[in-house]
Structure 1
Amino acid sequence: MLTEEEKRKYRRHLQLPEIGEAGQLKLRAARVLVVGAGGLGCPVLQYLAAAGVGTLGIIDADVVDESNLHRQILFGPADVGRSKAETAAAVVARLNPLVATEVHNTRLDLSNVRALVEAYDVVVDGTDNFATRYLLNDACVLLGRPLVSGAIYKFEGQVSVFNYQGGPTYRCLFPVPPGADEAPNCSATGVLGVLPGVVGTAQATETLKVLLNLGEVLSGRLWLFDALTFATRTLRFARRPEQAALHLGTAEPAAYAELCRPALPTITAAALRHTLAGPAAAVPLLLDVREPHEFAAGHLPGAVNLPLSQLDARAAEVPATGAVVVYCQGGTRSAQAVARLQAGFGLGNLRSLEGGIGGYEG
């Protein structure tokens, strides 16, 4: 039974015959994993907490950067440099003390995705990279979990629900992962600050519908939103058995590593500033992959210049041990450099600076 406090708090839900006390008890018993406490994750966490979802898992390895504040509304200026997951959990606790939070201050990858997804009833994808989206999809298919997916780009957003009651999966809609140079992100292209609020709220809505078995869930449908025209449209897509069953029934998808590697390791400008201000022993090597004329015009103190155009020929100059932060002007070339050094030379000690030197100095 609901407590008197819960009855007062969720009174407007209880007045809806489609929810009522039985539905609110379902929400209290539910466990939802929110992957990414950024632009999409912030409204998702707020509304799910307010709705009374009993346990919210929050996974994010990043810290708050000043450039996040125009769209990531759980955070303020005083939070810059703090863990996103831990800060978001603290805000959720203030919003609704009846909701439990589980903080996963780590990056999602092949080593932890199965255990994390298996511990929750529904997974909400608030990430900004394709590798993690495919990784989450495959884990949800493997473990039978619904995946509420959202994505944003400049002024446009989209939402769908994958792997719901035998419905289509992410790979049914997008069978082939794009290349690294075909996958833009907010740090490189920008985004309208209010857009994640619209899309994230839609994701929260779909999550509640899944948990309550309410209405028509966006399974097999992709909802598209254009903030500039306020036009919306819905595209229908079908389950593709050869894609939906791609990894089903395998303990650890052997083909996954080839089809879609985990997201490239990155570091935010705030995290790098914090590291550079710390003990000298912890300061990473800074590798500038811009062209020599760009390097000569200005670079981070102590950085070494190794242009992307010369990377393959000079890869032996990159140390295989010790932390190395790779940067360029905006973050695109450094991501390419890290991907090439990981794939071709087995270097696992590299991180790409999000937003590049432009974001660091801006």
Structure 2
Amino acid sequence: MPQRPDTRSGPAIDVAGLTKTYRSHHRTVHALDGLDLVVEPGTVLGLLGPNGAGKSTTVRILATLALPDAGVARVAGHDVVRDAAAVRRSIGYVAQKPVTRPLDTGRENLLLAARLHGLGRREAASRAAALLDAFGLTESADRLVRTYSGGMARKLDVAVGLVHRPAVLFLDEPTTGLDPEARAELWAELSRLADDSGMTVLLTTHYLDEADRLADQVVIVDRGRVVTRGTPDALKDQLHGDGISIDLPDAATAALAASVAARVAGLREVGVDGRRLRARATSGAGTLPVLLAALDGAAVPVLAASLARPSLDDVYLHHTGRTFEASMTQAEVTA
């Protein structure tokens, strides 16, 4: 795996007041609206938000693929605008779309990437072999990439991003489109990579469980701004208590259930998400039976009820006023 990079003093990523606006004939999109972000060396940071929240725009600016309209960003100690070449030498970037050549073999893709980064022929061959082994691709190394499964191809994309031992690695939604088994396999490889390499990793994702599993720190972005940040456990612990979820037959019944729930002692943050009633309680085990009895007394039919410790979805709901799923649906409708 990559050698532990030499870290500079100060943050690995330091962003202040970043703004970016895209204009077309039909509309203006404020992708970033004064975004601030600090990532310490050796940290795996999960940048979490729905499509259109500004995650990919942030990564493209930090990787010198787009210019900000305003604000300052430094990566590995280099300004992304004034010293873009130094930034590019310091980073690995794994985009959402495949970067490998499908009519070349896995080994050939890695050799090409290594040579483009200035490695000599012998060092490139050694580095390619090491990465193929690290990602479990040695047996497939001399097959054409077009014959790879989605999970194998994505592992190769990550390996290409690591070939020059970057100080900072950007992973832009690395598991989008993979089946659950392939996602789990890539998660395992990324976890091992983060533990072994000591490099700084910025991971963008719209999978809540992915951020919870991989990230040391989570930053939730909504409408181009940071709404909260912290470790996954700390963010969940801030909510104090259990989440209660009640599934109702339809939205009208859910609204009626919310009016009943608002009168139940011990419930807070009562809200409706489609056909689902959500609330929080300090003692969910004691409050849920009381809520169900109140709904029964009001002749409100309940399809299902659940009780859970706080999740990142609860954190998102708390800070944005809507669930992550609802945000994703809204982003798809307005895209």
TM range (shorter): under 0.3
Higher relative contact order (Cα pairs below 8 Å, separated by 6+ residues): 2
Give TM-score scaled by structure 2 length: 0.21
Who wins on radius of gyration, i.e. which is larger? 2
Give TM-score scaled by structure 1 length: 0.20
Which structure shows the bigger proportion of residues in strand conformation? 2
